Structure 1
Amino acid sequence: MTLYLRPVHFVDTPIGLPDGAAVRLAGGMQWFAAYEVSGDGDRRVVPVGEVATLGERAALLHARITAPRAPWALGGRTLRFDQPQVAGILNVTPDSFSDGGAHVDDPAGAAAAGMAMAAAGAAVIDVGGESTRPGAALVWEEDEARRVAPVVERLARGGALVSIDTRKAPVAEAALAAGAGIVNDVSAMLWDERTLEVAARTGAPVILMHSPDPKHGGHGRDGYRDVVTEVFDWLEARVDAVVAAGVDRARVMIDPGIGFGKSLSDNLALINALALFHGIGCPIMLGVSRKRLIGALSNEAPVAERLGGSIALAVTGAAAGVQLLRVHDVAETVQALRVWRGLRDRALIG
């Protein structure tokens, strides 16, 4: 039987509970007391103290779920995973779904916008030179590299930690040479397999996102029997493949790919099950800011009017132990997370 563990029965503090009755989620700020155990149609809740009775697969998942995530040391910067952090989205494209065109052909202006995000509390600035919205035109790799490299260079020189949002090896290589520290690939390094070679050679941390057809843009969909377990299995296998190719497992982050080839029902199921993905043993990034599902749940609110939903989903992610939240509205999300953390800190002391 293929077995999955989803942390449930979250508690404010382990104080006052018997030893081992509650454990910390991925070394972060959340504690939980039980697992929802599922597989092959079976579903039940088991206290964490009884996980050893469930076999070797459960023991592996439990170890991954509870292990602290090692911080990423990147030059003079360190990205920690013991609390939720924000990655600010900086598009230098003419056609991204939310803010396309705002910074096209203006590296200085784009970098200034990125530094403003860093000043507002973004731990990472995620720079992208190609839209991945449905139907977006493919950008020639040299054009994409020319768009992003000057922006990355200015941000890195200003002290910001930069990730490059690309699926193309030459773009990743140019951005890393310009000072980027992380490669964020929506194709999980399947669009251009040379990207994996770049990551293995440079030692750059990577973010692997799920999509059902990464070689063809990421938005095709044939339907899922069980979207949560299928996405989990795909990401687990992809992490194993990337590690086998020479990337340190401690330098891999996963992203369930909300909105990529998934229906509203699929997206909601994945968000509700986020804690289960800690079983892969990697930090998790969640990108839901201003996405279509928010409009679908709020009278078709346009992109510019989805802040409330974006904040609600960011806090939901934090409560599930997500380590990195990719957002457009940095200041507002950082404020929401600070309030959330204040509540968690106060709860821990009773």
Structure 2
Amino acid sequence: MSSLSSKNLAAWTLRDRPFQWGQQTYLMGVLNVTPDSFSDGGQFNSLESALNQAQKMVTSGADILDIGGQSTRPNAEEVTLAEELDRVIPVIQALRQNPDFSQVPISIDTTRATVANAAIVAGADLINDVSSGTFDAEMFPIVAKLGVPIALMHSRGTPKTMQTLTDYQDLIREIVEFLELRIRGAIAAGIDRHQIIIDPGIGFAKKQAQNLEILHQLPAFQGLGCPILVGVSRKSFIGHIISQPDPQKRGWGTAAACVSAIVGGTDILRVHDVSEMHDVCRVADAIWRS
């Protein structure tokens, strides 16, 4: 069974919470504190609304909260460093000041080393970099110095250009080779291999058929020897399949894609609808990881 290979990976402990790869699927709840994210932009970009959503996700079963202040949807505009910091740091600080969140791991979704460093200082626990350290040469050295985990994702170009960069000779091989190079670069910078997560980058410089191929071929990424993070939640390829233009109405399609990802050996699913996907994961885990 492909998903069981993750059992051989070193377990993590974040805020006294164990992450035993291969035993269950862990949920990373998306908390976009932005006005322009593709499915929930503007919903949680005030401190009060962000904290309320964080509470809802944790109560619903989120294992990690992933906080981002820069939209990475196709054609998104880049915000200034100051604006990104102003969006995410107050939320992290407020969460850490609230006893209800003292044991909840927090991920910072950023491509900037300065933001990553400030977020960890404020109380975040790991870094989710959709550029795999390619946008900021200081990312890997900062992560090594901080001694925290990092998620490395495959993409091409920037959010404004990525959907024009979808030509591949061998999609899976090229993604694997890219991630292998980034893993080597991270290790060379001093990052512990056991602190690295990989993400094949569903929806980033990928066409619909390519996203489906990645989901079908997920076991190919297990050879990289890292836990696998997958983000399919509400994405446009699901909308195209079910003819649903509204991202917030793609829940059932997201559920199907999440189950497929679990069958392929995914360890962490990045999702918006935590309550619904929590139930989906528990049933899929009972079938595929028993």
Q: Same fold (TM over 0.5)?
A: yes
Query: Is 1:186 matched up with 2:127?
Result: no
Query: Is 1:163 matched up with 2:84?
Result: no
* Equivalent residue letter for 1:101: G
The percent of aligned pairs where both chains have the same amino acid is: 39
2:74–2:160 contact (8 Å) kept in structure 1: no
Query: Is 1:304 matched up with 2:244?
Result: no
SS in 1 for 2:151: strand
Instruction: State the partner residue of 2:234.
Output: 290
Instruction: State the partner residue of 1:109.
Output: 49
| Length-normalised TM-score, structure 1 | 0.78
**In the TM superposition, what is the alpha-carbon distance from 1:217 to its structure 2 partner?**
6.0
**In the TM superposition, what is the alpha-carbon distance from 1:77 to its structure 2 partner?**
3.3
1:199–1:247 contact (8 Å) kept in structure 2: yes
What is the aligned length?
285
**In the TM superposition, what is the alpha-carbon distance from 1:214 to its structure 2 partner?**
5.4
**In the TM superposition, what is the alpha-carbon distance from 1:76 to its structure 2 partner?**
3.3
CA distance in 2, matches of 1:188, 1:220: 19
**In the TM superposition, what is the alpha-carbon distance from 1:142 to its structure 2 partner?**
1.5
Instruction: State the partner residue of 1:269.
Output: 213
SS in 2 for 1:132: coil
More strand by share: 1
Task: Give the number of the structure with larger relative contact order, counting CA–CA contacts within 8 Å between residues 6 or more apart.
Answer: 2
CA distance in 1, matches of 2:261, 2:244: 22
Match of residue 69, structure 1, among 1, 5, 9: 9
Kindly report which structure 2 residues correspond to 1:220-299, keeping only aligned pairs within 5 A, or say none.
220-299=164-243
**5+ unaligned residues in a row in structure 2: which ranges?**
none
CA distance in 2, matches of 1:296, 1:144: 31
| Length-normalised TM-score, structure 2 | 0.93
**In the TM superposition, what is the alpha-carbon distance from 1:291 to its structure 2 partner?**
0.3
1:155–1:162 contact (8 Å) kept in structure 2: no
Query: Is 1:95 matched up with 2:75?
Result: no
Q: CA RMSD in A?
A: 1.8
More helix by share: 2
1:186–1:214 contact (8 Å) kept in structure 2: no
CA distance in 1, matches of 2:142, 2:75: 28
Instruction: State the partner residue of 1:313.
Output: 257
1:210–1:256 contact (8 Å) kept in structure 2: yes
Which stretch shifts more, 320-329 or 154-163?
154-163
Kindly report which structure 2 residues correspond to 1:17-28, keeping only aligned pairs within 5 A, or say none.
24-27=4-7
**Residues 1:215 and 1:326: Cα distance change in structure 2 (over 3 Å):** closer
**Residues 1:267 and 1:144: Cα distance change in structure 2 (over 3 Å):** same
Instruction: State the partner residue of 2:275.
Output: 331
